């Protein structure tokens, strides 16, 4: 396949960036998208050029490191992570634009790599339960209906990739925050801090500079973990509860 | 999660971006109810001049003698203005927040499932605000009089909508209103926490149907007047 990659190159956070074009003649449809970047980088290094910086770790869709904007869509044309995307998803002769996630709370570190620690700080502000850890409790010590367990698990599937922020026209991290709030809010252990959690996490979300949600739904449409849009409805319910002074937590 | 007291938590909760959205959803919901009632009143032009003018007069006598003449109308007006100020203030705050959240734009951005409605809420809202001001100047304060000056509300409406550019302004404004409500009604329901994955398609369909009813209901009288069905 012949593929032209238009890649965002940026030396560091302060430097202005620009798109650089890299035409390739030898792309195999079986290659993953990251392998194409690897091959391109080997050539760049051989020519004495600087390789393209991009984040990646597991290369099997579980770590959430490899997020980039591919042709205007977070993680490209399929609802999977970039490392799971293969060149067979593109046509011979395609020109593909590759950019970093764009959100002010995600400053560019270099080329396609952004600093996503703002998401970690939202978790530190309340995405946990305050219990003393000892030995693991028996699995059947706290009964839990299957429905709640499934819902908690679905929300807990979030890998923190940031695609929801990247795709959102408001650069809101509401789906990410809602996934965490739903995950813990469905479980008995999450109840005592439920009201305080949603307020602390939203406060942190806003303070990090993410935009407000306007229920457009681009986030859930690109989320590789399939976190559903109605987790945001559930977060809204929790916030409504937290507005009542009688609610504990 | 160190919120010290429930009162402190409530204060903090109100200041979040979701708190702002709740204000928008509640005021937006009031507008939808008002707009539906207003549409019902407009459709009375088809019952003839007497019925329409009688209805306009009756609105002023509503609540008497408990309320003074026009009292009910003034309660509505003040309520709506307060709601509008809150709605626009929250919209502008969220707009500014969103602009600061992405100061560098994508070279290439392709929405996957956003609708025209959902992506034009802000500029569409500004258009609606301009329309509301124009509409009040025309039919409430009567600062702008088109086609002559009349005592009867019916005559005023017929004269105005016999003018092509007035019709055009109203057609465009009602299309903008329809788009705003198509996304706005769904958005308000989700903001109030009533959406679930199973209900989502039905909520979106209902929002579309209500928006269509409002557009058609508001446009039928002006078009009928313009075509000479009513005079
Ligand atoms: C007749 C007048 C109006 C009606 C019936 C109306 C109705 C609504 C409703 C129901 C919502 C949904 C609330 C939510 O997001 O949860 C909404 C949102 C919104 N409205 Fe209005 N509105 C009106 C006027 C305006 C005006 C004058 C502006 C001016 C700036 C405006 C700007 C917005 C914005 C920015 C949103 C949020 C967008 C979103 O949530 O996606 N609206 N409106
Ligand atoms: S909610 Fe989905 S898109 Fe957002 S960070 Fe989690 S996995 Fe990524
Ligand atoms: S590299 Fe881990 S998800 Fe892609």
Q: Read out DSSP for A15-77?
A: SPPEEEEEEES---TTSBHHHHHHHHHHHHHHTTPPPPP---SSSSSSS-----EETTEETSS
Spatial contact of A79 and A223, defined as CB atoms under 8 Å apart: yes
Q: Are residues A105 and A209 in the same domain?
A: no
Alpha helices in chain B (DSSP H): 6-15, 17-42, 49-61, 71-101, 116-119, 121-139, 153-161, 164-191, 200-226
CATH class of B14-105+114-226: mainly alpha
Q: Are residues A99 and A34 in the same domain?
A: yes
Assigned domain for A163 exists: yes
Measured in angstroms, how far is the CA atom of residue A244 from the centroid of ligand 1? 25
Biggest CA–CA distance in chain A, Å, is 67
For the sheet with A18-24, list strands across it: A18-24, A3-9, A95-99, A69-70, A73-74
Assigned domain for A249 exists: no
Domain boundary among A110, A135, A156: A110
Assigned domain for A123 exists: yes
Structure tokens that stand for A195 in this block: 């009201």
Q: Are residues A145 and A227 in the same domain?
A: yes
Q: Are residues A91 and A27 in the same domain?
A: yes
**Confidence category of residue A59, pLDDT binned at 50, 70, 90:** very high
A123 phi and psi, to 5 degrees? -65, -45
List beta partners, residue A6.
Answer: A21, A97
Structure tokens that stand for A11 in this block: 């030396």
Quote the number of domains for chain A: 2
CB < 8 Å to A236, chain B: 18, 21-22, 190-193
Give the pairing of strands A3-9 and A95-99: parallel
CB < 8 Å to A206, chain B: 16-17, 97
SS3 state at A121: helix
Measured CA to CA, the distance from residue A75 to residue A164 in angstroms comes to 10
Q: How large is the average pLDDT for residues A6-26?
A: 96
In this complex, the residue of B9, B20, B100 whose CB is nearest that of residue A195 is B9
Q: Tell me, what DSSP letter sits at residue A110?
A: E
Measured in angstroms, how far is the CA atom of residue B44 from the centroid of ligand 2? 51
Q: Which ligand is nearest to the CA of A232?
A: 2
How many A×B Cβ pairs under 8 Å? 170
Q: Are residues A138 and A44 in the same domain?
A: no
Q: Are residues A125 and A236 in the same domain?
A: yes
Alpha helices in chain A (DSSP H): 33-46, 117-124, 146-156, 163-167, 174-185, 194-207, 218-222, 230-242
| Preferred mutation among A95, A130, A199 to probe B, highest tally of B CBs within 10 A | A199
For tokens 């395609």, the residue is A94
CATH number of the domain bearing residue A17: 3.10.20.30
pLDDT score, position B2? 54
Spatial contact of A126 and A201, defined as CB atoms under 8 Å apart: yes
Q: State whether residue A134 sits within 8 Å of chain B by CB.
A: no
Q: Cβ A215–B118 below 8 Å, yes or no?
A: yes
Burial-class residue A222 by CB neighbours within 10 Å (0-12, 13-18, 19+): buried
Task: Please state the ipTM of this predicted complex.
Answer: 0.92
Q: Cβ B17–A206 below 8 Å, yes or no?
A: yes
Spatial contact of B88 and B81, defined as CB atoms under 8 Å apart: no
Burial-class residue B151 by CB neighbours within 10 Å (0-12, 13-18, 19+): exposed
Domain boundary among A110, A128, A159: A110
Q: How large is the average pLDDT for residues A207-233?
A: 98
Q: Are residues A7 and A97 in the same domain?
A: yes
Is the pLDDT score of A128 beyond 80? Answer: yes
Q: Please name the residue of chain B whose CA is at the shortest distance from the CA of residue A7.
A: B107
Q: Are residues A105 and A150 in the same domain?
A: no
State the residue range of the domain holding A148: 116-243
Distances (CA, A) of A76 to A89, A108, A244, B115, B157: 9, 19, 42, 20, 53
Instruction: Point out the ligand 1 atom lying closest to the alpha carbon of residue B95.
Output: 35
pLDDT tens digits, one per residue of B175-222: 999 999 999 999 999 999 999 999 999 999 999 999 999 999 999 999
Q: Which residues, 6+ apart, have CB-to-CB distance to A58 below 8 Å? A: A65, A83
Domain boundary among A58, A77, A110: A110
Q: Are residues A105 and A19 in the same domain?
A: yes
Q: A61, A74, A79: which to mutate for ligand 3, most atoms within 8 A of CB?
A: A61
Q: Are residues A68 and A121 in the same domain?
A: no
SS3 state at A236: helix
In this complex, the residue of B101, B104, B183 whose CB is nearest that of residue A210 is B101
Spatial contact of A5 and A36, defined as CB atoms under 8 Å apart: yes
SS3 state at A96: strand
pLDDT tens digits, one per residue of B126-171: 999 999 999 999 999 888 888 788 889 999 999 999 999 999 999 9
pLDDT tens digits, one per residue of B99-130: 999 999 999 999 999 999 999 999 999 999 99
Q: Which residues, 6+ apart, have CB-to-CB distance to A174 below 8 Å? A: A164, A168, A205, A210, A212, A213, A219, A232, A235
List beta partners, residue A21.
Answer: A6
Q: Are residues A62 and A126 in the same domain?
A: no
Q: Are residues A151 and A204 in the same domain?
A: yes
Query: What pTM did the predictor assign?
Result: 0.93
The answer, yes or no, to whether any atom of ligand 2 lies below 6 A from the CB of A166, is no
Q: What is the nearest CA distance from A171 to chain B, expressed in angstroms? A: 6
Is the pLDDT score of A140 beyond 90? Answer: no
Q: B22, B77, B92, B128: which to mutate for ligand 1, most atoms within 8 A of CB?
A: B128
Assigned domain for A36 exists: yes
pLDDT score, position B1? 62
CATH number of the domain bearing residue A133: 1.10.1060.10
Measured in angstroms, how far is the CA atom of residue B122 from the centroid of ligand 1? 8
Of A238, B35, A203, A135, give the one whose Cα is nearest residue B43.
B35
The answer, yes or no, to whether any atom of ligand 3 lies below 6 A from the CB of A81, is yes
In this complex, the residue of B1, B19, B21 whose CB is nearest that of residue A200 is B1
């Amino acid at each position: 396949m012949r593929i032209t990659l238009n890649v965002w190159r940026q030396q560091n956070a302060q430097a202005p960036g620009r798109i650089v074009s890299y035409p390739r003649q030898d792309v195999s449809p079986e290659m993953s998208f990251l392998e194409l970047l690897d091959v391109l980088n080997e050539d760049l290094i051989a020519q004495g050029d600087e390789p393209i910086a991009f984040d990646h770790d597991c290369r099997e869709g579980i770590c959430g490191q490899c997020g980039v904007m591919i042709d205007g869509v977070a993680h490209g044309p399929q609802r999977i992570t970039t490392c799971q995307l293969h060149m067979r998803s593109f046509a011979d002769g395609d020109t593909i634009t590759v950019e970093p996630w764009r959100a002010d709370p995600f400053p560019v570190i270099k080329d396609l790599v952004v600093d996503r620690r703002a998401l970690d700080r939202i978790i530190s502000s309340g995405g946990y339960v305050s219990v003393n850890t000892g030995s693991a409790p028996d699995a059947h010590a706290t009964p839990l209906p299957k429905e709640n367990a499934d819902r908690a698990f679905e929300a807990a599937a979030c890998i923190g990739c940031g695609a929801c922020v990247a795709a959102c026209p408001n650069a809101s991290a509401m789906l990410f925050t809602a996934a965490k709030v739903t995950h813990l809010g469905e479980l008995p252990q999450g109840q005592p801090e439920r009201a305080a959690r949603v307020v602390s996490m939203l406060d942190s979300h806003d303070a990090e500079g993410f935009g407000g949600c306007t229920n457009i739904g681009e986030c859930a449409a690109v989320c590789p973990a399939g976190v559903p849009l109605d987790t945001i409805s559930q977060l809204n319910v929790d916030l409504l509860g937290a507005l009542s002074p009688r609610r504990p937590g | 999660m160190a919120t010290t007291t429930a009162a402190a938590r409530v204060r903090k909760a109100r200041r979040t971006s979701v708190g702002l959205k709740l204000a928008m959803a509640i005021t937006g919901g009031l507008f939808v109810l008002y707009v539906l009632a207003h549409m019902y009143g407009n459709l009375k032009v088809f019952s003839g001049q007497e019925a329409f003018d009688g209805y306009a007069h009756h609105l002023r006598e509503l609540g008497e003698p408990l309320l003074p003449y026009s009292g009910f109308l003034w309660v509505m007006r003040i309520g709506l203005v307060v709601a509008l100020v809150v709605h626009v203030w929250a919209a502008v705050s969220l707009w500014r927040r969103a602009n600061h959240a992405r100061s560098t734009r994508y070279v290439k951005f392709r929405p996957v499932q956003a609708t025209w409605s959902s992506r034009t809420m802000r500029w569409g809202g500004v258009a609606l605000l301009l329309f509301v001001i124009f509409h009040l100047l025309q039919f409430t304060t009567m600062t702008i009089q088109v086609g002559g000056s009349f005592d009867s509300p019916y005559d005023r409406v017929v004269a105005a909508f016999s003018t092509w550019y007035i019709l055009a302004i109203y057609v465009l404004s009602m299309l903008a209103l329809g788009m705003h409500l198509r996304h706005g009604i769904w958005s308000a329901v989700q903001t109030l926490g009533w959406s679930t994955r199973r209900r989502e398609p039905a909520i979106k369909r209902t929002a579309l149907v209500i928006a269509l009813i409002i557009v058609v209901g508001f446009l039928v009288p002006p078009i009928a007047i313009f075509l000479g069905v009513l005079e």
